[in-house]
Structure 1
Amino acid sequence: MSNMVKVDSNYKTVPEFVLKDEDGNEFSSVNLLGKYTVVYFYPKADTPGCTMEGIDFTHLIDEFEGNVIGISPDSCNAISKFKSKRGLKVKLLSDPDKKVAEQFGVVKDGKLIRSTFIIDPWGRIRREWIKVSVQGHAKEVLEEYKKLVEEDKKISDNIKVRRAFRGIRPLPLSDEDLKKLVEAAHLAPSCMNKQPWRFVIVRTQEKLQQIHSALSEGNYWMKHAPALIVVYTKNDFGCQLSDGRNYALFDTGMAVGFLLAQATQMGLVAHPVAGYDPLKVKEILGIDGIVITIIAVGYWGNFEMLNEKHTQAEQSERNRQPLENILKII
């Protein structure tokens, strides 16, 4: 069987399969990875509805970048003749026992239901049509195909909305939500998969007050946060590379980035700071390593406690250098 990668996702993923195409060559679910693909199931080759559907997809094949696959219970010989006779440009696959159709959930009482799926480069099923009416269907699929591709090219709204806000409400957070932030961080990549990041969630009043005493004066606002996440690492937790590259620091930074994105998705502010006494923090928490940052976590909307400078910053437009100042394409 294939080496299909399992993707944790809110979407259904394509089942693993291996079928033969119109030329008798094997085609597996792995061949779908790395591109957007339309997979449609049709009942029988060379019947009126199935012919119209194949021709309609063929007329639009270039706009689908050639990535349209039709699957039916017909034999390889039958789909080969069908493709040649009708001048079809879609790839056809033979599913004689309807096993793959069953995996897609398009078989009822032994009969194949005409259905279509759009699959993304990660093998996730992003759009589906069950019990398809052929007339105008290919154009409808193309509209959704183009819309999906454009949606995925956009910068994530969570990245756009994320800001280093300070107006954190002192509302309690559940252990489950806090753990979820760290779980997201823990999915970050790392050199040799060493996973050098370490997190301490501080949420009891006693420990919070102790950490507050280590904060710089400008980080007074963090004292309103219901939780602080202390992030640390050690040199020997990660890769030590040429030219003094301590990759534990880079890897831990990436993990923090994942945490910030997850927090934004969950409607939380997650604001990392550098203004604290690292030696005092290590003493308070018994940490042996490098304290990279402290992240204040909580819900947004507590502006009354902010000073004038921070109130203005909270309401300001995002300030970024022009892209040409930080990017070179050669």
Structure 2
Amino acid sequence: MKKLPTTILKDENGRDFALTNLLGDYWVLHFYPKIGTSTSTMQAERFNELFEEFDERIVAISLDLPEVIALFKTKHRLKFKLLSDVKMELASQLGIVKNGRLSRSTFITDPWGRIRKEWFNVKASTHAKQVLEEFKKTIEEDLSINPSIFQRRAFRGLRSEPIEDEKLLRLIEAAHLAPSCANKQPWRFIVVRSREYLGKLHEALSGGNYWMKYAPAIVVVYTKDEFDCQLSENRNYALFDTGLAVGFLLIQATQMGLIAHPVAGYDPVKVKELFDIDGNVITLIAIGKWGKFDQLNEKHLEAEKSARNRQELSQIMKIV
């Protein structure tokens, strides 16, 4: 996803304005090829009318000098900030300059500076309302819970078909982006996908985890106390941080259309001996595609189709 450049422009008062000032909120940036024309005036007036509905998060940019945009702002009583991009520095970085001419364009950016929506060669008369609709939609989507978090479940209906190595690698890459105390990165992963080692690993599973034998890959997750911060009051961060990494892996797998089901039902001594692990085996994660159920017992088949069961928020949190 493209990001807004960290350019510094001059505002209508001739002062430096860094685009990093826009981080932390949603913004609309709209560009004028030249202010003072009837089209640019119409565009400015339409955005000005909707300024409050945009939560006052509008910035206009043109190729004119600061003193010119200052007069334009005063004449039309514009509420939003205007910036001068005389050298087309920002416009060029955004790819909206062709044959030396600026395309009338608009961008919506999010609190991380990511460009979430863009328009080129826009129609000034109706464009502002269209942008407002997308602006509100973007914020509403971001305020909702990540759909992959909603979708993720401890499913067991695994298909046995292999998972490509690049997909398995992507899961570990996602896990490896998790935060950790002092950036210690205490997690360790062994991706088991060969028939030989899967067969040996199956011998360490508890009876209730019979369904894992259908998984084309199992990730062994382990750590060691010394890999991470050990603080007062027995705060051993190796376990906490490794759990965060597993959480990242689960969400990435769900986004990719895969089951990632961590379990605690295994013999940790056997697993450590099998892979010569010096540390604590935290979990085994079954990885595979969903959609095969005839291998499940009645209890697990019912769980596969059941509704999500969670305690009420009032039981697990309080705001003070």
TM-score by length of 1: 0.95
Which amino acid counterpart does residue 48 of structure 1 have in structure 2?
A: S
Residue matched to 2:140 = 150
* Structure 1 residue 43 corresponds to structure 2 residue 33: yes
Question: Secondary structure at 1:248's aligned position in 2?
Answer: helix
Cα distance between partner residues in 1 of 2:221 and 2:135: 41
Work out whether residues 214 and 276 of structure 1, in 8 Å CA contact, stay in contact via their aligned partners in 2. yes
Which amino acid counterpart does residue 158 of structure 1 have in structure 2?
A: S
Residue matched to 2:283 = 293
Work out whether residues 69 and 84 of structure 2, in 8 Å CA contact, stay in contact via their aligned partners in 1. yes
Residue matched to 1:5 = none
Cα distance between partner residues in 2 of 1:315 and 1:134: 51
Work out whether residues 46 and 125 of structure 2, in 8 Å CA contact, stay in contact via their aligned partners in 1. no
Which amino acid counterpart does residue 323 of structure 1 have in structure 2?
A: L
Residue matched to 1:239 = 229
2:251 to 258, 261, 265: 261
Kindly report which structure 2 residues correspond to 1:223-234, keeping only aligned pairs within 5 A, or say none: 223-234=213-224
Residue 138 of structure 1 and its aligned partner are, at CA, apart by: 0.9
Cα distance between partner residues in 2 of 1:97 and 1:169: 57
Query: Which runs of no fewer than 5 residues in structure 1 stay unpaired?
Result: 1-10
1:279 to 263, 266, 269: 269
Residue matched to 2:242 = 252
Aligned-residue identity in percent: 60
1:94 to 84, 102, 115: 84
Residue 94 of structure 1 and its aligned partner are, at CA, apart by: 0.5
Residue deviations 1:16-43 (CA, integer Å, cap 9, x gap): 3110101122112211211110001102
Residue matched to 2:116 = 126
Which amino acid counterpart does residue 266 of structure 1 have in structure 2?
A: M
Work out whether residues 41 and 71 of structure 1, in 8 Å CA contact, stay in contact via their aligned partners in 2. yes
Cα distance between partner residues in 2 of 1:183 and 1:97: 40
Residue 268 of structure 1 and its aligned partner are, at CA, apart by: 0.6
Kindly report which structure 2 residues correspond to 1:1-330, keeping only aligned pairs within 5 A, or say none: 11-330=1-320
TM-score by length of 2: 0.98
Question: Secondary structure at 1:150's aligned position in 2?
Answer: helix
Work out whether residues 54 and 90 of structure 1, in 8 Å CA contact, stay in contact via their aligned partners in 2. no
Which amino acid counterpart does residue 207 of structure 1 have in structure 2?
A: Y
Larger displacement relative to structure 2 (40-49 or 229-238): 40-49
Residue 13 of structure 1 and its aligned partner are, at CA, apart by: 1.3
Cα distance between partner residues in 2 of 1:241 and 1:20: 49
Residue matched to 1:3 = none
Residue 15 of structure 1 and its aligned partner are, at CA, apart by: 2.0
Residue matched to 1:7 = none
Residue deviations 1:93-113 (CA, integer Å, cap 9, x gap): 011111211111111211111
Residue 200 of structure 1 and its aligned partner are, at CA, apart by: 0.3
Q: RMSD over aligned Cα, in angstroms?
A: 1.0
Work out whether residues 218 and 284 of structure 2, in 8 Å CA contact, stay in contact via their aligned partners in 1. yes
Residue 134 of structure 1 and its aligned partner are, at CA, apart by: 0.6
Residue deviations 1:68-95 (CA, integer Å, cap 9, x gap): 1111111111111111111101110011
The number of residue pairs the alignment matches comes to 320
Residue 174 of structure 1 and its aligned partner are, at CA, apart by: 1.5
Work out whether residues 116 and 130 of structure 1, in 8 Å CA contact, stay in contact via their aligned partners in 2. yes
Query: Which runs of no fewer than 5 residues in structure 2 stay unpaired?
Result: none
Cα distance between partner residues in 2 of 1:138 and 1:249: 50
